Structure 1
Amino acid sequence: MLDQAFRQTRAWHEAGVPLKVAVNLSARQLWHSGVADRIVEVIERTGVDSRYVELEITESVMGQDPQHMESVVQSFHTAGYSIALDDFGTGYSSLSRLKSLPIDTLKIDRSFVDGVPGDNDDDAIVVATVQLAHSLGLRSLAEGIETQAQCDWLRAQGCRYGQGFLFSKPVTAEEIADLYFREALCRDA
C-alpha cells in the first residue's frame, strides 16, 4: 500500500501536480522491527522528494511504548520527512513528550471540530490546541470540517490547514490531478 501511494505521488509530480502526500501509519506497521528503515527505503525507491511526504501517527499509538515510538519518529525526522500527530486530543500525550518529539503538525481530532463554533468546551479545546501548536512552532490542522461556519471560525482562531467534506469528498487518484488543475485555473483567473 505504501509503495502504491508513493508511486502515485511521483506520477502526480511528473504530471505537474506538486502535491504533498500524507500517509497514515498503523500501529501494526509501527511495531515491526526496523519499520522506519523499511518505510524510508520504499519512499526513496519511488523517488519522491522528502519535502512532499508527511507521515501521520495517531496520538494513541504514540503513548503505547513511548521510547520505541520516539525512536521511530526520530528516524523519520532524521530522514527528512515531516510528522503529523493525528487525532490530537483523544489520546494520552503528555506535554513533556509532545515538546520532545520532532512533530511538525498537530491534527485536531474531528470530535472537537464537530462542535465549533458554538460548543463552549469544543471551542476552548480547539483554541488552546491551535495556540499550543503555534507556541511550539507547529502547524495546526483541523479534521472533519463540514461547514463554511466551521472553516471561517477555525481560520479566525489561526488554524490555517484543514480537511473534510467541505473541501471534497474522497476522490480517486485520477480525480486528484483534475481537481488540482481546476483549482489552479480558478485561482489564476
Structure 2
Amino acid sequence: MKTVFAYIMHWSVIAAGHFKFLRPVIRKGNDIIASLAYKTYLKHGEAGWDKFWIPAMTKFGEIRAPYIKKVMNIDVNDPAQIGRFHDFEDPIFGVTGHWEMTEDGHPLRVETGCELCDHIMKITNGKGCPAFCEKVVYALEMGTGTAMNDTYYVEIDGLLAGGDDSCRFIHKLKTTNTSSSSEA
C-alpha cells in the first residue's frame, strides 16, 4: 500500500507540474494527508507515523528522484543542485521561498509561505505540529536526496508549522573524512 500511495503521489505531482489547473487538487490532497497524519499523531504520537507515513513518504522521495534529477538537470554531487527539488515541488504544493547560503557556505532553502503549514495551523487551532515536518516531510526530502546521492542529508533549522517565521532547510553532503562535516 505504501508503494501504491507513493506512485499515486508521484504521478499526480508530475501531472500538476504540466497542468496548473490540477495544483489546487494536489494541495487539497496534501491537506487531507496532513489531517490524516495529524489524527494518527493525536492517537499514537510520532510513533504512529512509523508504520505508514514515514515509509510511504520515503518511498515517494525515492520514486520521484530520478524524474526530478532529469527534468531539473541536477548535478548529484552538489547539495545546492540536489536541493533544487524544492524549485520543482514548491509551485505545485503552494510554497513560496528563496535560496540563501548559511554562514558556513551551505545552500539554505528559506520557505516563507506554505499552504500545508497554514492547514496544519488551522487543524491544530494555531498550536502547530512541527513534528509533522520534522518526521514526515523530512522523510520525503531525505528519500529524494539520498536517492540522488547517498551522502546527501538535510538539516531543518526552523519550521512555519512550529511557529517560526520560515522553514529553513540546509542541504549538505557528507564528506569522506568524517560523517559530521559536510561540503558545500
What TM-score does the superposition give when structure 2 sets the normalisation length?
A: 0.31
Q: Name the structure with the higher helix share.
A: 2
